[in-house]
Amino acid sequence: MKKIFVLFAVLSAICMALGGCVQINSPIPAIAVDENGNVVTKADNNGYQVNYYNVNNGTAVSVNSNDSAFQQPATQQPSVEPAATVASDTTVPVQQGTVGLSTDEEKLTFFNNALNKVKAYNAGFTKSKKTVGTQMQLSNPLVNAVASALKDSLLPNDTAVTTVNKGESSKDIMSPPGKDYVSALTVADCQSITSEQNGNNYIITVTLADATNPDAQNSAYAKIFEFITVDDIMNTYAPNMNATVERENVFFDFTGCYAKATVAADGTLIDYETFVSGTMRLTNGKIRAFTTDLSIVLSSTTQYKDFQW
């Protein structure tokens, strides 16, 4: 009777130990118990486990796989649902129409990869760019009165459509022009990165922080946008308005700029849109004989559609 009682106590202790452990990876070839009664729940390369987690004490430990407990695997136990895993920062898994986009790194990687395939594989598409100018103001009342009558002719409001055939290079057509990529953004470049699922597609929207006169070569804006620079204002906009201005008095304040891509679960770009907007400012500019400040709100929306792969 005493031996039966001892055996029953041992079995009870083992059952209690099993109840206090959670399997974190399944299935496994076998379950083994170490000398402390903790259940091993993941096999090593030899079919035995070297790591386990015990919820009773909340600690993770390593066990020598040469221990006798590992040489005598116990019977397979019922498993619980394994915890969800998060993709690494450098890979974006695509499986059965489901994309893991939990972190900003994953979202931006998915976004960049889809966009950069366009130039890399010479995909065909249609580009439509609409440029609009509004809210022209001049500080000199006399010049402002004259300019108001000519505002419609001075402010841009046009749409340009370009078609790229499959197999043709779009290096100089798709923004940023002259670059081998469409987006070289990093997470640090972005103010926000959002994603939403639309059926089997994913819409990734990236916004940039507001900026004044961003660098034409090295800024975050230069990594994705075709945007108005100080040189553009000096060489194009100011002459068109019959204005002369010194370079240090030229400003463009960008605000609310974003890029949005619709991407299939397999990473294929479906459509893409960029929006660049801001206020062009000339201070102490000269229009004929008058000195005045000038500001115009300009925006451009560029859409890329009808991709051919």
In a domain, 86, yes or no: no
The answer on 144 and 61 residing in a single domain is no
The answer on 203 and 159 residing in a single domain is yes
The whole-model pTM stands at 0.66
Q: Are 210 and 255 in contact (CB under 8 A)?
A: yes
In a domain, 87, yes or no: no
The answer on 271 and 177 residing in a single domain is yes
Per-residue pLDDT of the chain (309 residues; tens, 9 = 90+): 443 333 333 334 333 433 333 333 333 334 444 555 554 444 444 444 444 333 333 333 333 444 443 343 333 444 433 333 333 333 333 333 457 799 999 999 999 999 999 999 999 999 999 999 888 888 988 877 777 766 766 688 899 999 999 999 999 999 999 999 999 999 999 999 999 999 999 999 999 999 999 999 999 999 999 999 999 989 888 887 778 899 999 999 999 999 999 999 999 999 999 999 999 999 998 877 789 898 999 999 999 999 999
The answer on 206 and 133 residing in a single domain is yes
CA distance 181 to 171: 8
The answer on 239 and 207 residing in a single domain is yes
The answer on 123 and 9 residing in a single domain is no
The SS3 call for residue 189 is helix
Q: How many domains does the chain have?
A: 2
Domain encompassing residue 47 = 2-71
The closest alpha carbon to 232, from 191, 290, 276, 272, belongs to: 276
Residue count (the chain): 309
Helices (H) and strands (E) in the chain, counts: 6, 14
Q: What φ, ψ does residue 274 adopt, rounded to 5°?
A: -125, 145
CA distance 272 to 304: 5
In a domain, 281, yes or no: yes
CA distance 82 to 37: 22
In a domain, 88, yes or no: no
Among 71, 106, 128, the domain-final residue is 71
In a domain, 215, yes or no: yes
Q: What angle do CA 26, 30, 31 make, to 5 degrees?
A: 85
The answer on 148 and 271 residing in a single domain is yes
The closest alpha carbon to 189, from 163, 215, 170, belongs to: 215
The answer on 108 and 21 residing in a single domain is no
The answer on 148 and 32 residing in a single domain is no
| In the chain, alpha helices (H) | 2-19, 68-71, 104-120, 141-154, 230-232, 238-240
